[in-house]
Amino acid sequence: RYEETISKYQDKLMSQPALVASADRVKEKMEIMSLVEMVFTRGAENRNFSFGDIAHHIRQDVGKAEFTVLKALAYGVIKGSIDQVSRTVNITWVQPRVLTKGQIAAPEIKFDRWIQGVQDTLVFLEQETPELRM
C-alpha cells in the first residue's frame, strides 16, 4: 500500500522538499512498522518468522527483509535472535505502542479462548480422575 500511496500522491509529495529528502527514511520506518504489525498479529506462543514470510509481508525481497529485521533490532523496536542457518528470526519482545480498537479487541478474544481452553481442560480432568475430586 505504501507504493500505491506514493504513486497516487506523487505530485503533492514532490512539492514538499522535506518529504523528498526523507523519502528513504520514511519507507524504512514503514517497513519496520509493518514488521511490528506482523508480530502483533501473531500470538506470543508463535513468534518465529521466516525471512520469506517477512519479505512477503513488507513487500520486499528476502535480503531486504533480513536488513529490515536487523534495523528493527538495532533501533530497539524488537528483541530476538536470528538463525542464519534456517533463515528465521525469533522475536521475543516488541516495543509497546498505541493500539487501535481492533488491536485491543484481539487480545480479549485470545484471552476468552484461553479461558475456555482452561475450562475444557478442567472438565476433562474432572471426568478422567473422579477420585481426585473433593
Kindly give, in sequence order, each residue whose CB lies less than 8 Å from that of residue 131, ignoring residues fewer than 6 positions away: none
Give residue 1's pLDDT: 63
User: What pTM was computed for the model?
Assistant: 0.67
Q: What is the pLDDT of residue 111?
A: 76
Angle, CA of 37, 38 and 40, to the nearest 5°? 60
Q: What is the per-residue pLDDT for 69?
A: 95
79: enclosing H helix or E strand = strand 78-83
- Res 106: pLDDT: 73
**Angle at CA 133, nearest 5°, toward 132 and 134?**
115
Given this model, what pLDDT does residue 35 score?
92
Which of 13-17, 29-33, 69-73, 124-128 is least confident?
13-17
CA distance 47 to 43: 7
* pLDDT for the residue 98: 67
Which element (helix H / strand E) includes 92? strand 88-94
- Beta carbons of 111 and 117 less than 8 angstroms apart: no
pLDDT above 90 (res 122): no
pLDDT tens-digit map of 24-67: 888 899 899 989 988 888 877 788 999 999 999 988 899 899 99
Give the residue-averaged pLDDT of 96-111.
73
Average pLDDT rounded to a whole number, residues 90-99 = 83
